[in-house]
Amino acid sequence: MAITHPPHPIQVPKKEMRWQRKEKTGRRQRRAKQ
């Protein structure tokens, strides 16, 4: 996360963000359905 690490591609953080967002929405929908 620090600048010491090499410049990661935007695909890595973007994919992780998308995965977290999908899990959050799925969990929220499941809770709302119940």
Query: pLDDT category, 17, cuts 50, 70, 90?
Result: low
Cα separation, 29 vs 23, whole angstroms: 10
Is the full-model pTM beyond 0.75? no
Query: pLDDT category, 21, cuts 50, 70, 90?
Result: low
Output the pLDDT for position 28: 61
**pLDDT tens column, 2-12:** 667 676 666 66
Cα separation, 4 vs 31, whole angstroms: 40
SS (H, E, C) 1-20: CCCCCCCCCCHHHHHHHHHH
Output the pLDDT for position 9: 61
